[in-house]
Amino acid sequence: MNRKALKNRTAAGSVKKAPGAAEERPRVQSKIIDDVFTDAVVMVKPRFEVDYPAYLDRLWEANAEIYQILKDAPDMEEAREQMYSYLERAEREIFKVENDLHILEKATVRECIRAFKSIIGPVNEYRTGVSALDCLWKLARGRQEELVPEVSVGFLMEFINLFRGVAGRSNIYFESKEAKKGIPDFLRLEGREASEKRTEILDEMGATIQKYFKKYPSGLESDVVSWRKENRARILGYFGGSESDWDDYQWQLEHVIRDAGPLLDLIELTVEQQDAIKKAHRNRIPFGVTPYYLSLMDRNLSIGYDHAIRAQVIPPPDYVDSMCEHRADRGVIFDFMGEHDTSPIELITRRYPCIAILKPFNTCSQICVYCQRNWEIDEVLDPKAAASKKSLEEALSWFDSHRSVGDVLITGGDPCIMQDKPLKTIMEILAAKEQIYRIRIGTRTPVVLPMRWTDSLVEVVSGFHRPGRREVAVVTHFEHPYEITPEAMQAVQKIRRAGMGVYNQEVFTVENSRRFETVKLRRDLRLIGVDPYYTFNMKGKEETRRYMVPIARILQERKEEARLLPGLDRTDEPVFNVPKLGKNHLRSWQDHRLVMVLPDGSRVYEFHPWEKNIKPVPPYNYIDVPIYDYLEELAARGENIRDYRTIWFYY
């Protein structure tokens, strides 16, 4: 099956491509060998200047026995049989008493063997239409010319690391030699001496965390607060507003920025950003930024703390091009979650037995580029956004016939952009239904328009919060520590003082995926009263491929970074949203598995539905972003990618 055909298989149980493949995303590549363990990274021009034969040599050096099997096998099926035999021997070897590998290295060996067996499984080749084993066999026998498309450096890097892992040479624990059996000093010693040794290690870890935290200031830091006061004064002067206007959410909504003009006058933009905004405006692609959120952007590009804030609202060119191309069919092309197929009635979405989504208002105070429902939004603050009276009445009546649904998420769009009275009416009707025990308000206003949380709105929403009978909770989307401001904290504290909880759903993107960047966000959220709730793997939406992060990175972040902070700071669950089905909990490895590596270095994952062990619902196959491409992006942003070297071993 060719790549185009593979890309188009989108049903449950088939393959859907997550964007970001090497051939679609031009980038600078490393001129020298980079195995992410021992070699420095040098980004050079011109693009694609790669010493491919040297990578190939590194592949065969990674595991001589595998190379010999592939080289000697007369055909691919013989190679498969020999490979299975080798993997079984390798697995038995680590259970021998005399094997002196460290027990943690042995765990890595087992995981690598499990992944390798899956990759060379005939059923996975059949389902994906691709054979990584065939690529490896032809490479070993010098038949590269038969590989169309040619396998990428990303593919070679996947197998360099997998081959090493199978041999017990992952280099996770020691970069120059295999990890052997041994007991660290703090476990050999006892009492105070042991605790002092342990403290030295923990102090070193703590210092590392603090070093990273300094890279990601929050909006509560005095310097940042000072800069933003200047930004606010400049924006108020531009629009002819007063200090009292700034705190008036209606003034903010009246002055939402809908085109490039005010941005060009108020902040520095790259040429690419200017062109993208202008093209979006010309083609009526939803675009909007509140004056408040604009004040969170650094005036000059050189500062760079605001990268995640800009990225949320300033569309990249390929996003604009894709939205223009699919103007007529965007509801089909961009509906990644298949809401068309999970909406039993207009305004209702349902994927679980006890939960449903109600969408009464179909616009927002500003537009987030990678919004799940960008296909539904026509324009920022669309005057036609409110659902018709008839549609809303029918949607609310639907709950009377589906009494197992007791948890309702009111979202959209953003329901808090509605006036208080219609929102109160909706909540009154829901609260009158005996089975409704929780109402959640899904809104970004605490982040982009915190002044919307007036005393009146808090009173309306909290009036339906009845401990012991019905919970009302606010669910929002902070993406970066730089969004956490005194104004946001004030809004959150108002909600909390009224007895309601505030929860955060972070979307894990290139913009918040650096080492300890999301950890810093979680810690800062807790300090203002927000509980981390979900960390969403970036959805595989074709138009937002620039934001994509490999699944391996979110798993690495959870284990190597989040785990270092107290449990109260890491209450969120990393999840992948399976189209039409619902959330797959990523840290539960038994609910997903690696089934293939494509020639471009993309991993194909099989995701099991939440119904596993309950109902026989088919799995969903998903093509991820190549790890190699992601690491190159980090390197281009100035990251030392050796810090991420273990990413290859998260399956």
SS (H, E, C) 285-320: CCCCECHHHHCCCCCCCCCCCCHHHHHHHCCCHHHH
Produce one character per residue of 148-184: b if its CB has 16 or more CB atoms within 10 Å, e if not.
Answer: eeebbbbbbbbbbbbbbbbbbbbbbeeeeebbeeeee
Angle between the N-to-C axes of helices 52-62 and 64-72, in degrees from 0 to 180, rounded to the nearest 10 = 100
In this predicted structure, the answer to whether residue 38 has a pLDDT above a threshold of 60 is no
Give the 3-state secondary structure of residue 634.
helix
In this predicted structure, the answer to whether residue 614 has a pLDDT above a threshold of 70 is yes
Amino acid letter, 401:
S
52 contacts 155 by C-beta, under 8 angstroms: no
Confidence of residue 542 (pLDDT cuts 50, 70, 90): low
In this predicted structure, the answer to whether residue 296 has a pLDDT above a threshold of 80 is yes
- Mean pLDDT, residues 443-454 taken together: 98
- Mean pLDDT, residues 439-455 taken together: 98
Rg (CA), the chain: 26
pLDDT recorded at residue 522: 98
In this predicted structure, the answer to whether residue 324 has a pLDDT above a threshold of 90 is no
In this predicted structure, the answer to whether residue 42 has a pLDDT above a threshold of 50 is no
Query: Among residues 219, 237, 236, which one has the least CA distance to residue 228?
Result: 219
Q: Report which of residues 316 and 132 the model is more confident about.
A: 132
Q: Report which of residues 308 and 339 the model is more confident about.
A: 308
Structure tokens at 606: 């099989």
Residues belonging to the chain:
651
In this predicted structure, the answer to whether residue 269 has a pLDDT above a threshold of 70 is yes
pLDDT recorded at residue 8: 40
Query: Among residues 461, 448, 484, 356, which one has the least CA distance to residue 411?
Result: 356
In this predicted structure, the answer to whether residue 31 has a pLDDT above a threshold of 90 is no
pLDDT recorded at residue 215: 96
pLDDT recorded at residue 578: 85
Q: Report which of residues 117 and 150 the model is more confident about.
A: 117
CB-neighbour burial class of residue 64 (10 A; exposed 0-12, middle 13-18, buried 19+): exposed
> In the chain, where does the domain assigned CATH 3.20.20.70 lie?
335-590
Q: Report which of residues 303 and 555 the model is more confident about.
A: 555
DSSP annotation string for 317-344 = HHHHHHHHHTTTTHHHHS-TT-GGGS-S
In this predicted structure, the answer to whether residue 515 has a pLDDT above a threshold of 80 is yes
In this predicted structure, the answer to whether residue 645 has a pLDDT above a threshold of 50 is yes
Min mean pLDDT across 464-468, 474-478, 545-549 is at: 545-549
In this predicted structure, the answer to whether residue 135 has a pLDDT above a threshold of 70 is yes
- Mean pLDDT, residues 594-607 taken together: 96
CATH number of 335-590: 3.20.20.70
In this predicted structure, the answer to whether residue 375 has a pLDDT above a threshold of 70 is no
pLDDT recorded at residue 78: 98
Of the ranges 69-83, 138-152, 297-311, 535-549, which is most confident? 69-83
Interatomic CA distance for residues 444 and 288, integer angstroms = 14
pLDDT recorded at residue 337: 64
3-class SS shares of the chain: helix, strand, coil, % to 5: 50, 10, 40
CB-neighbour burial class of residue 247 (10 A; exposed 0-12, middle 13-18, buried 19+): middle
Structure tokens at 508: 């894990």
In this predicted structure, the answer to whether residue 308 has a pLDDT above a threshold of 70 is yes
Q: Which residue in the block uniquely carries the two structure tokens 């990578």?
A: 55
Structure tokens at 85: 């035999």
List strands edge to edge, sheet with 603-607: 15-17, 620-623, 603-607, 592-597
Give the 3-state secondary structure of residue 453.
coil
Please confirm whether the linkage preceding 46 is cis (ω < 30° from 0).
yes
In this predicted structure, the answer to whether residue 216 has a pLDDT above a threshold of 80 is yes
In this predicted structure, the answer to whether residue 617 has a pLDDT above a threshold of 50 is yes
Interatomic CA distance for residues 18 and 603, integer angstroms = 10
Pairing of strands 348-349, 15-17: unpaired
pLDDT recorded at residue 374: 64
Angle in degrees, CA 265, 270, 273, rounded to 5: 85
Distances (CA, A) of 190 to 109, 526, 574: 32, 36, 38
In this predicted structure, the answer to whether residue 43 has a pLDDT above a threshold of 70 is no
- Cα four-point dihedral sign 604, 609, 610, 611: negative
Interatomic CA distance for residues 45 and 62, integer angstroms = 28
Query: Among residues 503, 445, 444, 448, which one has the least CA distance to residue 472?
Result: 503
59 contacts 160 by C-beta, under 8 angstroms: yes
Interatomic CA distance for residues 609 and 624, integer angstroms = 18
- Mean pLDDT, residues 353-372 taken together: 89
Confidence of residue 139 (pLDDT cuts 50, 70, 90): very high
Interatomic CA distance for residues 351 and 107, integer angstroms = 36
With a pLDDT cut of 70, the percent of the chain lying above it is: 89
Interatomic CA distance for residues 624 and 603, integer angstroms = 5
Query: Among residues 601, 610, 597, 605, which one has the least CA distance to residue 622?
Result: 605
Distances (CA, A) of 499 to 459, 477, 601: 11, 20, 49
In this predicted structure, the answer to whether residue 51 has a pLDDT above a threshold of 70 is yes
In this predicted structure, the answer to whether residue 349 has a pLDDT above a threshold of 90 is yes
Query: Among residues 626, 625, 622, which one has the least CA distance to residue 15?
Result: 622
